[in-house]
Structure 1
Amino acid sequence: MNILNSPVSEMSNEKPIKSNPDDQTKDINKDQLRSLELTREADDSQEDSNVAKESIDVEKQIVTEDRSIDRGYAWVICFASFLINFASWGQNSGFAIYFSYYLNNDTFKGATKMDYSFIGGIAFGVGLSFSPVINYMMGKVGTRPTIAIGNCLQFTALMLASFSRKKWQLYLTQGLMQSFGLALVSIPGTTILPQYFKKKRVLSGGLATAGSGVGGICFNLGMQHVVETKSVFWALRIQSIIGFILVWIAIILIRTKDKKINIQFTAFDKDIVQTAGFWIFALFVITCMFGYVVVLYTLAEFTTALGYSEYQGSIVSAMVQLGSALGRPCVGLLADKFGGVTVATGAYTIVGILCLAMCIPARTFGTAIAFALFTGALMGSIYGMLAPAVARTFGFKKMNVTFSMIWMIMGVAGLFSPVIGIKLKRGEGGFVDPTQYVDCSIFAGVSFLAAALCLLLLRGYIKARDFLSEQGDSDNMDPIGLTVTPMAVITSCFKASHEKT
């Protein structure tokens, strides 16, 4: 018998195993710790993976957004904004033809020059005065539905005005209803363009707002021809149809980035109102509108006061729009190079001087045309630089709410501007006297010079704030918490900083 192969022998060669409870606990604890470490490593790995994925997604998003900045579909948006300006502010500038016709032909019995000026003021300003409500409405129903509602109102207003035969009917249609239609179309249209442009923001704004100039040419000359061949009422009908179609084309093309950049759609922001920049901006808008609306609405009648025909008056009024169509893109190019506020300051200084030195002594048709071209090229600079200047002063997120408050102030100023202008005019109209509009010219010139001074102070405010802030991009900064002293504003008016103003 082989003892070595027996089970007893195998057992005898093995050392007995002693069971120790403490050792078992230690082993279990080690296993648990190892398991926890593995779990944590897995979680960390998953977390790193998620962070990396999110980082990639953000990078993709940035790349995607960059592709639509200053190029690609951004220019389609620019064209859509051009159409909106053509069919809104272009139509509004055409009121100069109706104003001159109503005033010289006693179209509505019992209506005075004050009635017609109030109708023009209402058409320009009342709707804009409700811009905070419109901004809130945009946040609730969206930008495109808001423009669509405005388009329907604008069409209905002019169509009903063509059937009006009493003064109060004209107040409600071509005045009040047209005003809300204009505001609902133009306000949302203005806020879209800055979302697609950065380096070429003012240039694109100049091209888009040139639409109002081109529209003004078409509606001034075209509707004057219709007035002479058909009637003033047929002119209103044709104008309403043209505008209605063009705004619908723009609505189809429009795309917004409101949700991506988290734009604020509230009606009012007390923090903005508490900044000095807002009140400088507000004073600029008021003084600019005083000069702008007076010149825009009175040039046709000013020409007839020199002894020329209503058709020649419509040509002079159209020259303002031609100057606007040619001048605004040029102003935009200069503004992209030197800064929107800086260039607009020079533009309004020149316009103020022209009103005082060229318009007052004007006695010939050629002088009236030259004045209209030069002022038209420069006095509408506000529309090209307004959106970039608001974004530069208050940042992207607060752009819409700031716009709504600025538009409200612009609406109030625009409401009373024609009334002030016609009150300064001597006589009721319908007679030749070159000195009828001397007081209007002085008022407009001083207003434009005051607007230029306000812009210079706004430039000083922005530059002083730039020196206080460490941030490089004003679009994404929150400037509300920065306090700028009056002395810093004055001393910074001619300074340069890291970003164009």
Structure 2
Amino acid sequence: MSRLSVRRNYQSSETYNRDMNGADDPDPSQNGKDGGWYAWLVVAASHVCLMFVFGLFQAFGAMFATIQRYYGETSAKTSWIVAIMMFCEFGLGPISGSLCKRIGYRKTVMIGALLSTSGFLLTCLATSIEFLYLTLGFVVGAGYSLIFSPSLGIVPLYVRKKYALANAVSMSGSGTGGFILSPLLQALTAHYGWKGAFIVFSAVNAQMCVCATLFRTPDQRLKQSSHYSRDNTKERPEPPKSNCLSEIFDINVFRDHPKFILVIAVFTLGCSVGFNGLPSHIIPRAEDLGIGDDRSRALFMSMLGTCSTIGRFAPAAVLLRRGTIFTGSRLLGLSSLCLGLTSLFSSLARTYAKQAISVCFQGFFSGAFMSLMTNCTQETVGGDRMTSAISKSTPFIAIGVLTGPVLAGYIYDVTGDYDYSFYFYGTSSVLAGILMLLLDPFVTRCEKNCRTTPKEKDIELDVRYSGLEHVEN
């Protein structure tokens, strides 16, 4: 890369940042401001979207046994519904990321909301469990895949200084979903049957279309603001658009950030394999052990969601403190380790009180783990590449999502005891935590060395020089 090309790229990026933020509204990351009331309105909309995207698979545990009895199928075969749904939600992530670049965040989320709503409506026509693989699995999962990445990726575009807090508010939507959706589906099923419950729920799910209207990127909002005249808008150059596939899909994110590969591996093993199917087995396990009745067992999902919400905010309280020795990577490893140990020891919970305590710990550590996943991604690749990075990681996560719940269900069918399924979940999360704690210092050091090569230093000097020259001009 020549000095002239670096200088031109630097100047164009400076122009683009100035166009996005405006002369009277400098970059929030530079002046300590995050984006005002609209930024936190976007965070609230992201919270609602993730309430459905993550909360539904937790709430599905309240209907797992009902659907299994209705069709008289095995636990493993019923688990394929959640497995396919989560596989499509994560596996189609690259499509979501590319759509965000082509048509924008708002339209992508709107399409996802309408697609998932149609999937819930079509469920009323189900005559076999294979039909649910299509409606709840593929259609709803594909719709949620178009909502997942944009809902997470738009937050760092508006909030940078207090991103840890904004991310906690956004990610706590999954906990809120588990708290609200589980008793809601339980009540709807009691009054209308499980098919009627999904019909009513489709109307609730459609409210994400309202949230989608708020998902405007900062540059779109600035173009519509009153302090930009039409003449000034014409004078400001538009950022160049490229049709290059490597830029559209941003496949270089793995090469540029090796640590991101470790984060993906830990999340895939610790959450996709080690937790995603666990909520679906909590209520059936309690039913096998004769713990509580249908209504009291449904409260386990509310407990899981409530504690998961609390767990979302725990890392922010630590990361926002200056001088702390706990980095996002270390906390991610510790939370995965604690989640695994909690799942392993859940076999000791044979009464309602003990089961409730176990569920609360599982919710807390899983919530912290999910929040730290996005924090580590943002720290590794930066806020501008957040949506792209998440969409690239989802196919790998989808592999774990597809295999984890099905393997756990198969283990139960062979042993007839859900405790062995929880041993499987716990072992996966423990291994992920150990992997993160052991490899993170090595990978971090390697990435730092790669960025401080003589060639990189020369480029950094060129950028600084061109930046000073640009300011003087």
Shift of 1:174: 0.9
SS of residue paired to 1:307: coil
Quote the offset at 1:426 in angstroms: 4.3
1:351 alignment partner in structure 2:
339
User: 1:381 corresponds to which residue?
Assistant: 368
Answer yes or no: is 1:89 the counterpart of 2:60.
Answer: no
- Alpha-carbon shift at residue 91 of structure 1 (Å): 2.2
Aligned with residue 253 of structure 1, among 214, 220, 244: 214
Matches within 5 A, 1:16-27: none
Aligned to 1:313: 297
**Residue among 265, 271, 276 paired with 1:283:** 265
Contact map agreement 1:126 1:412 (CA 8 A) in 2: no
Corresponding position: 1:240 with 2:227: no
1:326 equivalent to 2:289? Answer: no
Alignment of 1:390-405 (within 5 A): 390-405=377-392
The two structures, once aligned, show a CA RMSD in angstroms of 3.0
Provide the residue aligned with 2:11 in structure 1: none
Aligned to 2:90: 128
- Look up the match of 1:14: none
Partner of 1:74: 39
Q: Check conservation: 1:119, 1:171, Cα contact below 8 A.
A: yes
1:397 CA drift (Å): 4.2
Give the distance between the partners of 1:194 and 1:213, measured in 2 at CA.
Answer: 20
1:24: which partner in 2? none
Look up the equivalent residue of 1:287 and give its one-letter code.
L
Aligned match of 1:203 in 165, 170, 185? Answer: 165
The corresponding residue for 1:33 is none
Quick check: 2:116–2:140 contact (8 Å CA) kept in 1?
A: yes
On the 8 A contact 1:219/1:239 being kept in 2, the answer is no
Q: Does 1:62 align with 2:32?
A: no
**Cα deviation, residue 82, structure 1:** 0.8
* Structure-2 change in CA distance of 1:271 and 1:150 (3 Å): closer
**Deviation by residue 1:295-324 (Cα, 9 ceiling, x = unmatched):** 222111111121133333321122111111
* Distance change (3 Å), C-alpha of 1:113 and 1:199: same
Report the Cα distance in structure 2 between the residues aligned to 1:411 and 1:225, rounded to whole angstroms: 31
Q: Shift in Å at residue 92 of structure 1? A: 2.9
Match in the other structure for 2:276? 293
2:432 alignment partner, one of 439, 451, 469: 451
Query: Match of 2:338, as an amino acid?
Result: I
SS in structure 2 of the partner of residue 253 of structure 1: coil
Assess, with a 3 A threshold, how the Cα gap between structure 1 residues 72 and 164 changes in structure 2: closer, same or farther: same
Q: Select 1:364's aligned residue among 338, 341, 351.
A: 351
Query: Which residue of 308, 312, 320 corresponds with 1:336?
Result: 320
Deviations 1:45-81 (A, max 9, x none): xxxxxx9xx89x9764525675751653221121111
Counterpart contact for 2:116–2:139, Cα < 8 Å: yes
Quote how far apart the aligned CAs of 1:421 are. 1.1
Cα distance in 1 for residues equivalent to 2:432 and 2:53: 24
CA distance in 1, matches of 2:314, 2:148: 22
Residue 93 of structure 1 and its aligned partner are, at CA, apart by 2.1
Superposition TM-score, scaled by structure 1 size? 0.74
Q: Aligned residue for 2:121?
A: 159
Shift in CA distance, 274/72, structure 1 to aligned 2, threshold 3 Å: closer
Which consecutive unaligned segments of at least 5 residues does structure 1 have? 1-50, 430-435, 472-476, 479-501
Once residues 310 and 124 of structure 2 are traced to their aligned partners in structure 1, the CA distance between those partners, rounded to angstroms, is 32
Q: What is the CA-CA distance between 1:469 and the residue it aligns to?
A: 5.0
Instruction: Indicate whether 1:266 and 2:248 are aligned.
Output: yes
Do 1:139 and 1:265's aligned partners in 2 also have CA atoms closer than 8 Å? no
* Superposed displacement of residue 83, structure 1: 0.9
CA distance in 2, matches of 1:112, 1:441: 18
CA contact (8 A) 2:179 2:303 kept: yes
Shift of the 445–61 alpha-carbon distance from structure 1 to 2, 3 Å rule, reads same
C-alpha contact (below 8 Å) 1:89/1:182 kept by paired residues: no
Whether contact under 8 Å (1:202, 1:340) holds in the other structure is no
**1:254–1:137 Cα change, 3 Å:** closer
The higher relative CO (CA closer than 8 Å, separation ≥ 6) is in 2
Amino acid at match of 1:117: S
Ranges in structure 2 where 5+ consecutive residues have no aligned partner = 1-14, 221-237, 454-458, 461-473
For residues 353-394 of structure 1, the C-alpha deviation after alignment (integer angstroms, 9 at most, x for no partner) is: 21223x021111111111111110111334322333223212
Matches of 1:99 and 1:161 in 2, distance apart? 15
Residue of structure 2 in register with 1:421 after alignment: 408
Cα distance between partner residues in 2 of 1:220 and 1:310: 12
Contact in 1 for aligned 2:179/2:306 (Cα 8 Å): yes
Query: Scaled by the length of structure 2, what TM-score is found?
Result: 0.79
* 1:70–1:199 Cα contact (<8 Å) kept: no
Instruction: Give the Cα–Cα distance (whole angstroms) in 1 for the partners of residues 240 and 350 of structure 2.
Output: 54
What one-letter code is carried by the residue in structure 2 that aligns with 1:438?
D
Alignment equivalent of 1:439, drawn from 413, 420, 423: 420
Give the match's secondary structure for 1:242: helix
Shift of the 70–329 alpha-carbon distance from structure 1 to 2, 3 Å rule, reads farther
Q: Which residue of 1 aligns with 2:183?
A: 221
What residue identity is the alignment partner of 1:254? F
Which structure is higher in helix share?
2
Compare 143-152 and 406-415 and name the one that shifted more.
406-415
Equivalent residue of 1:76, what SS?
helix
8 Å CA contact 1:292, 1:380 repeated in 2: no
SS in 1 for 2:350: coil
